[in-house]
A = this chain, B = another copy of it.
Amino acid sequence: MLYIIGLGLADERDITVKGLEAVKSSERVYLESYTSILMVNKERLEEFYGKEVLIAHRETVESFSDDILKDADKVNISFLVVGDPFGATTHTDLVIRAHELGIEVKSIHNASIMNAVGATGLQLYSFGQTISVVFFTESWRPDSFYDRIKENSTLGLHTLCLLDIKVREQSIENMMRNRPIYEPPRYMTVNQAVDQLLEVEEKRKEKAYTEDTLAVGVSRLGSDDQVIKAGTLKQLLDVDFGEPLHSLVLVGHRIHLLEAEILRENAVDLEHLNLVLKRDYNVDK
């Protein structure tokens, strides 16, 4: 049996009881480490589980699904995923491969940013499609997210923006020389994301959003030191959200009173928030 187990958002105790039982029953335990990160390290997981945890890098999973699935017809194997098992397509590959090999697969669900973002007070049923913001480079500044945000904002819907994570990046030199040397991990901050968003709006000028658009920045959602701050994009440029992971939500115009109430509790600047709610969102107290 292959168990694909969601670890949830923050630490080792966010696993479900069912998930923990599956880990304890497994011969080998892999931790997926390329689409998201937990806020605790492998050693803490190993101590909590009482067994070794193998790190599955992207290259491992894509080239060596069969290694992960070895003997899974006879013994239990656990594949741990930060958030929920269905957050990333790569696990879909693993599942399809398992099915080809006739190996039974069971997924154990958990929270992911896709539903936990409800903690912002914005209602999940008023979100449109989710977008990803990747780190711009000198030569590569992909802005297709802009069209998606515009589609959502035209309908008055909120947009969850998932921010880029770079783990096991290789420098061009190391890549060309095929040296397995990796750069330190990088996590996009809310500030960087807002900066890139505003750069694209500056270029496109279609008002999918502006620097006065209300947004909510979140970091370390689900942990004891989570931060949730609401303000205009311009205001969020300068808010320190601390350690990763960060995410960003753009607030749509269909916002209702109860949602606005929670934004106020998390306001960077309550007076200015109320002004923008009234002026641009038609929400009065």
Q: What residues of chain A have their CB less than 8 Å away from a CB belonging to chain B?
A: 6, 8-9, 11-18, 20-21, 83-87, 89, 92-93, 96, 99, 107-112, 114-116, 118-119, 121, 123-132, 151, 155, 157, 162, 221-222, 258, 261-262, 265
Contact = CB atoms under 8 A, between A and B. Distances in A.
A8 B109 contact: yes
A264 to B, nearest CB: 10
Contacts of A6: 111
Given A16-B15, A18-B13, A111-B110, A118 B8 contact: no
27 contacts: A8-B110, A12-B17, A13-B17, A14-B18, A14-B109, A17-B17, A17-B20, A84-B111, A84-B115, A86-B116, A86-B124, A87-B115, A87-B124, A89-B258, A92-B262, A96-B261, A96-B262, A107-B119, A109-B115, A109-B222, A110-B110, A111-B111, A111-B112, A125-B131, A125-B132, A125-B162, A128-B157
Contacts of A89: 123, 258
A252 to B, nearest CB: 10
Looking at chain A's contact residues, is the secondary structure mostly helix, strand, loop, or mixed? mixed
Contacts of A124: 86-87, 114, 130
B118 A115 contact: no
- Counting every copy of the chain, the complex holds 2
Contact of A115 (B17, B18, B111, B132): B111
B16 A14 contact: yes
Contacts of A132: 125
The 3 residue pairs across chains A and B that have the minimum distance between CB atoms? A86-B118, A109-B111, A125-B130
A69 to B, nearest CB: 17
A123 B114 CA distance: 11
A235 to B, nearest CB: 23
A84 to B, nearest CB: 5
A92 B126 contact: no
B8 A16 contact: yes
B14 A17 contact: yes
A267 B132 CA distance: 30
Given A14-B17, A155-B151, A265-B99, A129 B125 contact: yes
B109 A129 contact: no
Nearest to A116: B109
A146 to B, nearest CB: 14
A118 to B, nearest CB: 3
A203 B268 CA distance: 47
B114 A114 contact: yes
A131 B125 CA distance: 7
Contacts of A109: 8-9, 14, 111, 115-116, 119, 221-222
